[in-house]
Structure 1
Amino acid sequence: MDTNETNLEDAANASRLKTAAPAAVADPEPDPEPERDGLPLRQRRVVLGIMVSGTTAACISQSMMIAALPAVMHEYGISASSGQLLTTAYIFVLGLISAMTGYLMNRFDSKKLFFASMASFAVGCAAAIFAPNYPCLLAARLLQAGGAGICLPLVQLVALNIYPKSQYGQATAIVGMIIGFAPAIGPTISGFLIDAWGWRSMFWMLGAIALAVMVLTVLLLDDVVRRPDHPGHFDLVSALLYSGGFVLVMIAATMLESGGSVGAGFIVPLLAGAAGLVVFARRQLRVSEPFLRLQCFRDKTFAVSTLIVICAHMMFMAPSIMVPLFVQDIQGLSATVSGLTLLPGAIMMGVMNPITGRLLDRRGPRPLIVAGCVTVLAGTVAFALIPASAPEWVVTVLYGVRVTGIACLMMPLTAWACTTLDPDELAQASAIITSARQLIGSLSASVFIAAMALTSQNALGVDLGGFDSSFWLQCGVPVLAFVLGMFVLPAKGKR
């Protein structure tokens, strides 16, 4: 009898649980994640479509001068070291401005900020078209970089704001198609334009795109980034320390390229710049409203992932400048051929980013780190051994191999870096990653090109011996990224 009563009581309890279950399903605990995915699909496509279009033009611009470099060098009578500043200085200023967008994105709505960035870029294009000499062209490039420095972290922040954390890999894959594909295809587009209408035609095209995007921004774009109630104040002292420190380090790298020796012109600005950056970092950890929230680096996942992203950009930057120089100045071929040499790699970057984004969401970063670092190292060693007589298809395949490896690292690790951060830290995280990636990538490109120039035997600083020496030096970067990813990066992030 007792057993029967017990069974009846258990059955009654089970019945009550089944009855209560639909209520629990109908009224779940509030999940903050869907709020970050609240845009209707059509609006999301419009916002990202407009912003991706403008940002693509800005990213293409950073690499279009690569194919134009020999023509600009001959027109203005400058060396390869001076000419490459049109690319590396662009990326350098882009990085400096990106650091400031952490404050700007919390202070201004995304529509106004994006319009301002496109306006600055369009004015820079107009100035480049009519530049009478090298200094004016360099100044025009820096004005373009100011606009690019705002829109690049902004589009990344917008993507993260309209996707949940579980889909950050897919969100950053969209941005990755811009960051990776656009600069990679830039030399190809500019090669056709240069051979057909001269190097200034590049800026006619980019300026027209920027103006069209500005019109669409006014008509169709909405503000989709949630800003904090208290955006904070702009720390001018920190901004000066940050900018001044990196500018001095860049001057040191430029002096090394042009001077060819490690003298006072290199050591003094290097030490002064490094001291300024140390003071900057200490200040950010003490002030209540920092210029850059370096406290994010206390999160080990963010810190190590950001370092791997920086390594990936270093692997991308220098070869994207050096390979066209190899094709044009060492092999004696045209700008169009050098651009076509990079085209398959650009296509691979566009194809790989969505794939690596999905792999990150499913498998985590470790398999991508192994595949990426091994692939890049193999391609780098092959370039260090390549002869001047190598067929163009060999150069094309080797460049494509390296870009495929970089696609496994750059945007997946950018996404992984943000998985452990709070939503109100995303604007600062986007600014930090973009700024560090661009600045250190630019500086590393200067160092690797300086290594090529110092070991070359001609006046332009471009020959096969210098090319090989620089690529041997670059082999250390994928090795460093592999060690960081496999032995330092935490195995799991907060998804």
Structure 2
Amino acid sequence: MNKTYNTGAILASLLICGFVGMFSETALNIAMTNLMEVFQISAATAQWLTTGFLLTLGILMPTSGLLLQMFTTRQLFTGSLISMIAGTLVAALAINFEMLMFARVLQAIGMGLLLPLMFNTILVIYPPEKRGAAMGFVGLVIMFAPATGPTVGGLLIQYLTWHYIFWLSLPFLIIGWLVGMKYLENVTEVTKPRVDLLSIVLSTLGFGGIVFGFSKAGEGSEGWGSTVVVASIIVGLVALVLFTLRQISMREPMLNLKVFKHPMYVIGLLLVLSCMMIIMSSMIILPMFLQTGAGLSVFATGLILLPGSALNGILSPRVGRLFDRYGPKWLVVPGLVVVTLMLWFFSHVSPASSVALIVALHIGLMVGIAMIWMPAQTNGLNQLPPELYPHGTAVMNTLQQVMGAIGTAVAISILSGGIEKYLHGSSAPSQPTEIANAMTSGSQSVFLFTMSIALVGVVMALFIRRVLVSRETMKSMH
């Protein structure tokens, strides 16, 4: 490479900002019950703090490939940080639900710009043989930040107020921004791609409609039968079909679907999406089970989930280095087998299960995920030629958000269905023990559902093979 970058400083600034964004996401999840009391809102309304965040990401992510070509790296970085800092400040000062909701949208806009920028910058500044380790650090952020969220959030809520989740995040965002402004260079060439308004409208309706529909399905009594849910999902699907047809016919598509011509990219993408569904379902169900089913406090729940998630984060860079050395198969296949086994054990937990068992199962689950996520993702992106990097990361990031919303909604509706079915057959449905048992029954059904996804993943992983970077790609990078 002709140009040498201060890769360490650039990576550090992107990781600090990404970490804070991800941290505030889950730290707020654990404050939901608290926020419902403070703002006098229902669970369905509180859910919007997460849904709105995902919806904003789902709408913004597909345009990220376009934005990466239209603006310089520094412009996008500054835009994303201003949005995140403003959102975090508004959230810290929020006095009502509407103000907090507005803050979440601002934060999501920042994250929606930052995540694709982070992946694209790493693909440009690191040669293929060192990418696994660099992507491993991204894995550390993507997994470790959401993991520390509930523990730190639980502590802050117990001793201070939920506002401090955001006050704590603010100085770190400012530090990350300052480091980035000093060391981050413009790593991509700015081309002026044609902005196709129809593509933007179709992608917003398509991805937005699906995320919105599935998110609504996870709420309320009507669930999947609601007219709004059905209409949103249908509009979303129709818009997505039209969007796809338009991208295929355009000379300069907004989202280049040629990425799907690369088989290892497709397998990597499918495995990452399976992981996303498993993580989102477990992340939302496990804390509910521990609090309602096992009757533990918010803080205790956070502590139980910390070792597994911390280990996942710590292992990610190590897994990245193993991937650089041995390729994906020897990590991904065993990882999926471990995840499948852990989810099967989870489908048998009850309020009588020991805390040690739940901690051990969660550690196993998170270690398994660490073995799958980054190797599958990096191997997939490695197969793409450099001009498709922005599109490959845009497709991957967009579909992750969509899968996150689908996973959360499906998990919540399976849980609600299981709880209702149990209480319907109960002679004393209002007894605390029966409510705990109903929660357990619903949670077990969700874990069986996620186990079936992991089993499909095992089959897909058998077809994964290492991508050797072509000479043409190497030439274009030099």
Normalized against structure 2, the TM-score is what? 0.89
Q: 4+ residue runs of structure 1 moved beyond 6 angstroms?
A: 458-462
Deviation at 1:75, TM superposition (A): 2.5
Supply the distance in 2 between the matched residues of 1:80 and 1:464 (Cα, whole angstroms). 19
Aligned to 1:493: 467
Contact 1:311 1:481 in 2 (8 A): yes
Q: 2:318 aligns with which of 331, 338, 355?
A: 355
Q: Which moved more, 1:106-115 or 1:274-283?
A: 106-115
> Identity over aligned residues, as a percent?
28
Aligned to 1:225: 187
Q: Deviations over 1:365-390 (max 9, x none)?
A: 22222111111111111221101132
Supply the distance in 1 between the matched residues of 2:80 and 2:163 (Cα, whole angstroms). 21
Supply the distance in 2 between the matched residues of 1:195 and 1:204 (Cα, whole angstroms). 16
In structure 2, give the amino acid aligned to 1:158: T
Aligned to 1:25: none
Contact 1:110 1:224 in 2 (8 A): yes
**In structure 2, the residue corresponding to 1:452 is in which secondary structure?**
helix
Contact 1:59 1:179 in 2 (8 A): yes
Q: 1:326 aligns with which of 274, 285, 289?
A: 289
Supply the distance in 2 between the matched residues of 1:105 and 1:117 (Cα, whole angstroms). 12
Aligned to 2:475: none
Aligned to 1:437: 400
1:237 aligns with 2:198: yes
Aligned to 2:264: 301
Aligned to 1:484: 460
Q: Deviations over 1:349-373 (max 9, x none)?
A: 1222122212222222222221111
Supply the distance in 2 between the matched residues of 1:253 and 1:428 (Cα, whole angstroms). 25
Q: Which runs of 5+ in 1 are unaligned?
A: 1-33
Supply the distance in 2 between the matched residues of 1:389 and 1:275 (Cα, whole angstroms). 47
Larger Rg over CA atoms: 1
Supply the distance in 2 between the matched residues of 1:334 and 1:116 (Cα, whole angstroms). 39
Deviation at 1:226, TM superposition (A): 2.4
Contact 1:81 1:449 in 2 (8 A): no
Aligned to 1:249: 210
1:406 aligns with 2:369: yes
Supply the distance in 1 between the matched residues of 2:383 and 2:179 (Cα, whole angstroms). 35
1:192 aligns with 2:155: yes
Deviation at 1:224, TM superposition (A): 4.0
In structure 1, give the amino acid aligned to 2:210: V
**In structure 2, the residue corresponding to 1:270 is in which secondary structure?**
helix
1:466 aligns with 2:428: no
Contact 1:92 1:443 in 2 (8 A): no
Give matches, 1:13-92, under 5 Å. Answer: 34-35=1-2, 38-39=3-4, 43-92=6-55
Q: Deviations over 1:413-445 (max 9, x none)?
A: 110011221112112212221121122122211
In structure 2, the CA distance between the partners of 1:402 and 1:231, relative to structure 1 (3 Å rule), is farther
1:105 aligns with 2:81: no
Supply the distance in 1 between the matched residues of 2:394 and 2:83 (Cα, whole angstroms). 19
1:129 aligns with 2:92: yes
| TM-align CA RMSD | 2.1
Q: Deviations over 1:288-345 (max 9, x none)?
A: 1212111111111111211111111111112112212222222222221111111111
Supply the distance in 2 between the matched residues of 1:224 and 1:249 (Cα, whole angstroms). 34
Supply the distance in 1 between the matched residues of 2:388 and 2:211 (Cα, whole angstroms). 29
In structure 1, give the amino acid aligned to 2:467: G
Contact 2:13 2:177 in 1 (8 A): no
Contact 2:281 2:446 in 1 (8 A): no
1:274 aligns with 2:250: no
Contact 2:73 2:188 in 1 (8 A): no
Q: Deviations over 1:211-246 (max 9, x none)?
A: 33333333x133141225x34122221122112122
**In structure 2, the residue corresponding to 1:232 is in which secondary structure?**
coil
Supply the distance in 2 between the matched residues of 1:213 and 1:315 (Cα, whole angstroms). 30
Q: Which runs of 5+ in 2 are unaligned?
A: 424-429, 470-478
Supply the distance in 2 between the matched residues of 1:89 and 1:311 (Cα, whole angstroms). 22
Deviation at 1:251, TM superposition (A): 3.1
**In structure 1, the residue corresponding to 2:468 is in which secondary structure?**
coil
Deviation at 1:454, TM superposition (A): 2.5
Contact 1:88 1:443 in 2 (8 A): no
Contact 2:58 2:207 in 1 (8 A): no
Number of residue pairs matched? 454
Supply the distance in 1 between the matched residues of 2:387 and 2:413 (Cα, whole angstroms). 40
Supply the distance in 2 between the matched residues of 1:135 and 1:365 (Cα, whole angstroms). 45
In structure 2, give the amino acid aligned to 1:243: T
Q: Which moved more, 1:457-466 or 1:165-174?
A: 457-466
In structure 1, give the amino acid aligned to 2:20: A
Contact 2:215 2:408 in 1 (8 A): no
Aligned to 1:93: 56
Aligned to 1:337: 300
Normalized against structure 1, the TM-score is what? 0.86
